[in-house]
Structure 1
């Protein structure tokens, strides 16, 4: 029969085992709770578009692959009795992972977008799109940037179930760049081809980082690129209207389009913002966590130096906006090519001294066999 001392010994051992078991259970519960809360915080970070620490310019390393789940669309077929796409696309995933891999080619982008037809046109294979959006990209010597934009923009727009077309308005020659004039030309040439209900004027070096930033027009002109990594994902100032903006044809006509007299870098975005106000409209914007864009780093290239006249031109916008715009734009159409991923429109826009044709003057060409369509 055990003695009193041995009973206490057994009791102490039993209590010790119980304490060890409780500690282990408590530790496991603690770890589960910690893991649970970390998952919540990670999910909140993704939803708010907050990047991980230590990333340059807040670059997005937590988002989804922009091509995820799109491969199944190629297996779908269109029917004559097709219903409209839902108001909110079920393909949206939110934040998108953006990086710039070396060696990317347009051929690779083409292979990843089998439903895009010649001219950079697309429509959903399983439903009738509710919106028709044209993307206007002013371009001059930015081929490297263009292929990255096309890599991300095509699946980005497909996720939103839009009927869309991409137009690259290429300025010929080595004259000073005129971004706003190229956008005027893009509007005119795109509307000649199709009755688009929305036009997005898109810088070639800006990549959208959240597919909930829908490329459709609002009741008022929309500034989509509200939060660029260049500006710390904040709006640099209240009247800013640069980077990526959206106008319906009615908006565009009401404000007489864009100015034609800004040669070089700077000023035209602010002029356009002033025109919106002068035409009796206001600017709409997505939220900061959705209207996020990553800029492809680059320096000002030759022919796009800072415009020294930008401030004096801005001071005269109230007097010039009705006379200088879409009604007064002059250009020479050099070619229209329906390429696999976009429609390339090459134009001669002249210089500040006026429209001067290039020498020798190329013949305008339009390849009927390459027209977009299905």
Structure 2
């Protein structure tokens, strides 16, 4: 028979095992209670931000079309005063959602002051800034509808003179985003002497209209806080999504690379070019430079570029040899749609440009004659 001392020993061991089991079982419940507490705390913090006004940390946002119906075309042809340096129409956070069934016709009806080619200028004052939006595109019509739905009123709130250019890659060849942006730069500057050019992914929607679509003294990275990255900058030299450069800045870095076929690498190459061109990257704050991404799968023809890291390692040697000074392409068509200018272009493949038999669209009869244009059209 067991002695009294042995019985006590077994009893203590049994109680110890039970305590361990109870601790393990209660661990999950403990974490749930702690998580619940922090959720309540965050809700209280958000509520305080809402009480503090629309320019606080609240990003629930307002309707992007709110108050724009008050804008009307100016009567007569009298000289207009310049718009205020800070637009009185901006409100801060914008509510972004993606309702099903949206059509371009609906977007057009909601933007009656946008004219053919996706052009707009404020009706009641003279815009201080002229901005072109360049959107590299292929097989993303669904995303384009949402971008246009939000971007047109977003830019009108900022009282900009603007135009939207969609640069559509023809054919089923591997996608080349950076080369399409080079094409967009050249073709936009042939039509107008733009002060600033925004290079804009089709699937990114801005969430705060204080993120002004104007250029800075240095190249600007606007999409600093995407929802896909938890509204944080993924790394210091990131220059992807939405970026802005003046024509002089763009030429100073020899534009973007033409040799990144497929997904990845070109954003980092561009960031390096900024530095090699003697410039630095500027950014809005994380609270303002917020973007929501339209979810999608990786496109066919836009597979990950396996050579991107090797190419990046050689940017210092290649940036002056590959860029705006070497871009080759063929315009297949230029269409002035109600909400944007669509430029369909053959940019070839990695093996080079393969001309098509389609007629090349004519340029405008009177393109701006300036020194920049002469630089751009050198062959």
Deviations for 1:205-247, whole angstroms, at most 9, x for unmatched residues?
A: 0000000000000000000000000000000000000000000
- TM, length-normalised to structure 1: 0.83
Q: Equivalents in 2 of 1:47, 1:331: separation in Å?
A: 45
Q: Equivalents in 2 of 1:285, 1:41: separation in Å?
A: 23
CA-CA distance at 1:72 after TM superposition: 1.1
For residue 301 of structure 2, what is the aligned residue in structure 1?
303
Whether the 8 Å CA contact 2:74–2:124 is kept in 1: the answer is yes
Please state whether the residue corresponding to 1:137 is helix, strand or coil: strand
Whether the 8 Å CA contact 1:337–1:367 is kept in 2: the answer is no
Q: Equivalents in 1 of 2:299, 2:47: separation in Å?
A: 44
For residue 152 of structure 2, what is the aligned residue in structure 1?
154
Alignment of 1:1-374 (within 5 A): 40-44=48-52, 46-51=54-59, 62-74=60-72, 76-77=74-75, 79-358=77-356, 361-366=357-362
From the superposition, tell whether residues 302 and 39 of structure 1 become closer, same or farther in structure 2 (CA, over 3 Å): closer
For residue 17 of structure 1, what is the aligned residue in structure 2?
none
From the superposition, tell whether residues 76 and 263 of structure 1 become closer, same or farther in structure 2 (CA, over 3 Å): same
Q: Equivalents in 1 of 2:48, 2:140: separation in Å?
A: 41
- TM, length-normalised to structure 2: 0.82
Whether the 8 Å CA contact 2:191–2:364 is kept in 1: the answer is no
Q: Equivalents in 1 of 2:321, 2:280: separation in Å?
A: 21
Q: Equivalents in 1 of 2:191, 2:70: separation in Å?
A: 30
Q: Equivalents in 1 of 2:62, 2:362: separation in Å?
A: 39
CA-CA distance at 1:159 after TM superposition: 0.1
Q: Equivalents in 1 of 2:220, 2:173: separation in Å?
A: 30
CA-CA distance at 1:40 after TM superposition: 3.7
Q: Equivalents in 1 of 2:364, 2:274: separation in Å?
A: 37
CA-CA distance at 1:364 after TM superposition: 2.2
What is the CA RMSD across the aligned residues, in angstroms? 1.9
Q: Equivalents in 2 of 1:349, 1:293: separation in Å?
A: 29
Gaps of 5+ in 2: 1-43, 368-379
Q: Equivalents in 2 of 1:266, 1:297: separation in Å?
A: 17
Q: Equivalents in 1 of 2:227, 2:124: separation in Å?
A: 35
Whether the 8 Å CA contact 1:134–1:200 is kept in 2: the answer is yes
Q: Equivalents in 2 of 1:154, 1:248: separation in Å?
A: 21
Q: Equivalents in 2 of 1:178, 1:37: separation in Å?
A: 44
Whether the 8 Å CA contact 2:50–2:58 is kept in 1: the answer is no
Q: Equivalents in 1 of 2:180, 2:219: separation in Å?
A: 19
Whether the 8 Å CA contact 1:49–1:290 is kept in 2: the answer is no
Q: Equivalents in 1 of 2:69, 2:295: separation in Å?
A: 30
CA-CA distance at 1:74 after TM superposition: 2.5
Deviations for 1:258-279, whole angstroms, at most 9, x for unmatched residues?
A: 0000000000000000000001
CA-CA distance at 1:363 after TM superposition: 1.3
From the superposition, tell whether residues 253 and 38 of structure 1 become closer, same or farther in structure 2 (CA, over 3 Å): closer
Number of residue equivalences: 323
Q: Equivalents in 1 of 2:230, 2:243: separation in Å?
A: 19
